[in-house]
Every structure is written in structure tokens, then in C-alpha cells.
Structure 1
Amino acid sequence: MTAFRPFSDEQARLLVNLRQRYESWIEVERARRELPYDLRRKTINGQDYLYRITDRSGNGKSLGPWSAERDAEFTGYHARKTELKDRAASLRAVLAESAALYRALRLPLLSSDAGPILRECDRRQLLGSHLLVVGTNAIAAYMIEAGGFVLLPDETEDFDLAWVAADDKSSGSTVWDMLKAVDPTFTVNSERDFQARNAKAYEVELLVAPSRAHSLGTSDQPRPMALPEQEWLLFGRPVDQVIGCRDGSPARIVAPDPRWFALHKLWMSDQAKRNPLKRPKDRKQGLALLDLVVTAMPHYPMGASFAAELPVELRLHFDEWHTEFGARPSSDW
């Protein structure tokens, strides 16, 4: 059995506080994002108008001649903007305090590059509804869900996202707009158009299941190939956790059901098309995560009813693990 060490009481308390503070902060950030970029009073040919400004260049649209109604709208908007700005600043301070303690307590960490992407996804309310974290970065969320540590690599120098929206009614470039808001240097890799890369060579890959490919806007980027095995990551109940990053900032992760994720990893480790350098890590992660689920996640049952749901490709790996797990003595850190 993979070695497991539960979090201390102090670590567990910190995780609760971090989540509460993060949720308060992201609520304010979402409210700020819903506001117009700016409202301004403009005089044109001697007549005052109220303009909704849409960008830093001052482009905008007239909301009509100045009037008592426009004046109230202008005043209310700026009061609300100031209020939210002040609340955000206050919440950032207490959130930074929790994030600093998170690092000091040596809890699982994400890379600093992943944090801004996740926070922008959350600000736009894309996590869970449109995007899941499906790469190695998800391991940290599974450890938080389990309430303890496992000895596994929990981050890489790239970032894997899966598009999971059943129906997207937003802009046709949902993912690309999000990435460009995080870092305008992101460009699509011309040789691998499912991958975007920024000026620091940090890579973001987008994956999609065939059943969800239709909802990805035709103008969106990157352009993932629909992979049948991604369907497995849509099943079960996702994990939703707030994690600390190496730069001392927090971020929220929504990742697939750990049972399906683990079996998907084991399946990948057996594929000849998979990078041979990654296959041993896939197998190690898959086996360790199944051990972690059965050891510390009783809310994700692994009994006969779950096994009966599995397609034959995954059932073979589940049965192999089940045999190995039953034969191994338990161990502690």
C-alpha cells in the first residue's frame, strides 16, 4: 500500500480557513468582473453623454444624453466599483496570510504558473462547468480531498485542462479569451494546435471528450482532438479544493472523480502510443491514487457497484489493482 500520512490538526484547520477566505475573495472578484470597464461623462458638441467604456483605449458606447437617471447610474456605478475594490484589497490581505501559513505548514503545492490560470478560470466561473484539471496538477487536490500526503510528484511544467461543457452559451472563444487575459503572450503551437505556450514556454494543453466537442466554440483555441478515453473523466463526482501555489498565492482546482482519474492513468500507462518516459509515472500515480481512495476517501466507494460501472478496458486494471492491494500489507509513514 502506498505510504500515507494524514494532515495534522493545524494543517486541517488552515485548509478550512483558506477555503473560506478564498471563496469570499472570488465572490468579490466575480462581482468586479461583471461591472463595465468604466462609465464616463463625455461632452460632444456641447451636449453631455454617459458612455460605457469597454477597454483601456477609451472605446465605448453611448448610453444616452446626460439626465438625472444617467447621473444616478454614473454615481451608483462608481460607488459600487470603489466598494468592491476596497473589499477585494481587504480580503487579499487575509487571504495572503492564510496562503503564507499554507506554505509554512508544507501542504501540497501547485506551480506558480498554474495559479493565475486557475484563478482566471474561477473568476469567469468556468471551473467544473466548462473546464476540469486533468493532468498531474490534480494530484494536489486529491491529497487535500484525502486529508493527507502521498509520496508522488504532484506538479509538472505544463498544464492539462479538459473541456467538459455540455452546452456553452458564452463567447465562441471562451478558453482563448481566458488564457489571453492571464498572459497576452500565449500563442498556439503551430505543430500541436491543442497546445498553447507563453513567452516563458509554459504549456497549456486542452483535451476534450467526443460527447463534449460540439460545445467548444469553432473560433476557440487551442483546438483539441476528441479522445474517446476522455469520456471516462466525465463520470463520478469531481473533487473541488483550494490549493496553495509556490509563489504564496491560492487557487481552486476542480478535478475528475479520483477513481476514474486513477484508472485512466493506469490505462494510459499501458498504451504503446503514450510517451514511454511518461508511462511509468502514469502507472505509479494510478496505483497510488487508487490506494489513497480506498485508504482515505470512503466517500468514493470502490465496491462491487462501482466495479460494475467500469468499461472492460478499465475493469482489467481495476481487477489487477484489487488483487495487488488485497495482497499487500498496510504501512504507515
Structure 2
Amino acid sequence: MSEIIQLDYDSLRDAVDVRDRFDLYREARRDARHSYGGSMNFERRGKAEYLIRRPYGSSTRKSYGRRTPETEETLRKFLVGKAEVRDRVAALRQQLNDRARILRARDLGRVPLLTARIMRRLDDLNWLGTSLTVLGTNALYAYEAKAGVRIEAGLLATSDVDVLYDARRRLDLSGEVNGTGLVGALQSVDRSFRKTPNRPYTAANREGYMVDLLEPLDHGRTMRKGEARLSDHPDDLVATTTESSRWLLNAPKFEATTFDETGLPVRMVTIDPRVFALQKQWIVENDSSRDPLKRTRDAEQARVAATIVTRHLGLSFDDPALSGLPRSFRDLSDRWTDVPSEDPTDRW
């Protein structure tokens, strides 16, 4: 059985349709949050009333001045716009729900539910793709979704999520996770998540599902600023480093809309599939401490990612976009010289 199966025309059509609607849904949600989130009301200050805007997720407020016909019209337009965007979000959400069963019937619902819920939470907090990037096996869901293929299930099986933390970026901690960082965000998805006693970079829930916080190996940054963590809370995770992740912050990002097991869309931001393949191959050839069974799987995943890169996405390992990686790292692509290039006639 092939490790990579091309989706049929009907599946591709339905997936593209839902992704387009998901883009509209995300845009409407952004509009609802940033343009119409929070409240706008007249509030009494002394003997006068003032029109006050309190934005979503912010303790600040803005005054539009005393009550006048103009400020009353400003309030009216705000309330009308807020109602319209709320209706638009609800309508698009219903469309996604209606189409989820179709994607599920076509076996396009791939991402495990808990993984999907974690991705959505990180995305809602605006951490995904800014300070946090998905690594490891879960990245394959993004690659297969973008390429319009299905990867053999055995290569996707995992009970954890690895996230890479870019400690150079300032993280916006707000709302119910303020001060509790990544563990607080995970607990808003599943209250049983806790930092594990002997692995301060890992949070696990009662079923043993784990989330690992990683950072690239950077001795200079560690010496200057100390441990990389999302908050100062004692129960929050402390990032660990791995040799193979040293160059990942210089790697291009890769974004795709995937689908969870119920058929609902999930945004995933990970590393470029070429970098994924190179990193996995580096681990195979250089990490002597790696479990032999895991190393075998690493090699299989590297080859599958390289095949998707060249045959289905039409990307090149010689792309200048990868120039931030060391030459010795990029030269590992020679291991897949037998992987065929993209065949346009095979896309459908």
C-alpha cells in the first residue's frame, strides 16, 4: 500500500470549498473581535453622559465625547455593525458545521480532536504562528492537506504535540490565561493538564496526552535572559532545547487548513516541509541517543515529506528561502535523489 494517496476530484473540491468558507469565517471573527468586540455605551460622568468604547480583551477605554446627535449616531452604527458581523459569523459557522459531515464521510477529518482543540486555542490567543510553531508528527497533517493527499495513518500516529517557542517575540498574555502561560491555555481546553514532575517542559493530561515546549539551542540567549517560558508562573512550562532544532527559527513557516476528526477546519502553522524532512534526516544520521524504533519512523517521515515537497507541492530544496539553514543541513536532501518530481498529469 502506498504511503501517500492522491485525493479524488470530489474530495479536493469539497476540501477547497470548506477552506474558502473557513477563510471568510476567520475574517468575520477578526472583524467581530477587533472592530466590534467589547462594548460601546453612554456612561455618566458627573452631570453629563459620555460615549465610551471598551475594546475586547483590553482594560483601556476611549471616549467619543458627550452625548450629542453625532455620538448617538456613532453608537447606532456600532450596534448595527456588531449585530451584522455577529450574524455573519453565526451563518458561516453553521455552513462549516453542515459541511463537516461531508468531509468526515470522505475521510478528510484527520487531526485528532484534542490536538485540534489545542491548535484552535493557541490560534485564538494569537500565539500560533507568532510565538509558537507546531513541530513533529502533527506537521504532516498540514503537508498532506496543502498537497491534497492522504498519508498512511501509521506515520501520523502520535499522542503528543511539540511546539517551538520563539523567545525573541513578546507574547500577549491576556484574559483567563494571563499569568499562567501555556499551561493555563491548555487547562482552558482540558482542566486535567499539569506540568509533569520530572519534565518541566512537558504538560500532560489524565489520559497521558503530552504537550512539549521546545526552543532552539541558543546558549547566548539563555545566558542573557535565562530560561525560556511563556510566563513566570511556577506551574508553567520551561522550554527545553534540542540540537536538531538549532536552525528552526531561520526556517520558513508553513500554514495550512486541516480538518479534525469531525470534519471541522483547523488552522495549523508549522515549519516548511523541506525543513521538516531535513530535520528528521539529521536526527536519523546524527542523534545516537534516539530510540532505534523512533529513528526508523523518522526516516520514513522524512522520505514522505520529501516526496510531498517535490512531487505534490513542486518545491525545491535549492530554494533561496532555505539559505538561512547551514549548507551541511541542506545537503541532506541528496538522500532523496530518487524521489520523482511533480507530475502535473497526476494531480487529478
Normalising to structure 2: TM-score of the pair?
A: 0.74
Q: Is the 8 A contact 1:140 1:243 kept in 2?
A: yes
Say whether residues 1:145 and 2:146 are aligned partners: yes
In 2, the alpha carbon distance for the partners of 1:248 and 1:108 equals: 4
Distance 1:73-1:199 versus aligned 2 partners, 3 A rule: farther
Superposition RMSD in Å: 4.1
Q: Which residue among 300, 303, 307 is the counterpart of 1:284?
A: 300
In 2, the alpha carbon distance for the partners of 1:105 and 1:13 equals: 11
Aligned equivalent of 1:159:
161
In 2, the alpha carbon distance for the partners of 1:97 and 1:264 equals: 39
Distance 1:71-1:190 versus aligned 2 partners, 3 A rule: farther
In 2, the alpha carbon distance for the partners of 1:176 and 1:37 equals: 26
In 1, the alpha carbon distance for the partners of 2:25 and 2:276 equals: 30
Aligned equivalent of 1:242:
257
Aligned equivalent of 1:274:
290
Distance 1:54-1:193 versus aligned 2 partners, 3 A rule: farther
Aligned equivalent of 1:219:
232
Q: Specify the code of the residue in structure 1 equivalent to 2:19.
A: R
1:216-270 CA-partner distances (Å, limit 9, x unpaired): 5452732112334213333443321111111332101112111110121122234
Consecutive unaligned residues in structure 2, runs of 5 or more? 341-345
1:295-323 CA-partner distances (Å, limit 9, x unpaired): 2221x21349799876365356433333x
Q: After the TM superposition, which of the residue ranges 36-45 and 133-142 deviates more from structure 2? A: 36-45
SS in 1 for 2:255: strand
In 1, the alpha carbon distance for the partners of 2:240 and 2:298 equals: 21
Distance 1:82-1:176 versus aligned 2 partners, 3 A rule: farther
Share of identical aligned residues, percent?
A: 26
Distance 1:62-1:149 versus aligned 2 partners, 3 A rule: closer
Q: Specify the code of the residue in structure 1 equivalent to 2:166.
A: V
Q: Which residue among 245, 256, 277 is the counterpart of 2:271?
A: 256
Q: Specify the code of the residue in structure 1 equivalent to 2:193.
A: F
Q: Specify the code of the residue in structure 1 equivalent to 2:8.
A: S
Aligned equivalent of 1:116:
117
Aligned equivalent of 1:204:
211
Q: Specify the code of the residue in structure 1 equivalent to 2:232.
A: S
Aligned equivalent of 2:343:
none
Aligned equivalent of 1:294:
310
1:49-90 CA-partner distances (Å, limit 9, x unpaired): 9998999xxxx8998999569977876665554433322221
Distance 1:317-1:145 versus aligned 2 partners, 3 A rule: same
Distance 1:108-1:257 versus aligned 2 partners, 3 A rule: farther
Aligned equivalent of 1:87:
88
In 1, the alpha carbon distance for the partners of 2:248 and 2:94 equals: 36
In 2, the alpha carbon distance for the partners of 1:245 and 1:257 equals: 21
Deviation of residue 291 (structure 1)?
Answer: 2.3
In 2, the alpha carbon distance for the partners of 1:86 and 1:307 equals: 43
Q: Which residue among 191, 194, 205 is the counterpart of 1:187?
A: 194
SS in 1 for 2:17: helix
Q: Specify the code of the residue in structure 2 equivalent to 1:115.
A: A
Q: Is the 8 A contact 2:146 2:257 kept in 1?
A: no
1:19-71 CA-partner distances (Å, limit 9, x unpaired): 1111111223334444665678899999999998999xxxx899899956997
In 2, the alpha carbon distance for the partners of 1:118 and 1:216 equals: 19
Q: Tell me the number of residue pairs that the alignment of Structure 1 and Structure 2 aligns.
A: 323
Q: Is the 8 A contact 1:244 1:251 kept in 2?
A: yes
Consecutive unaligned residues in structure 1, runs of 5 or more? 327-331
Q: Is the 8 A contact 1:17 1:98 kept in 2?
A: no
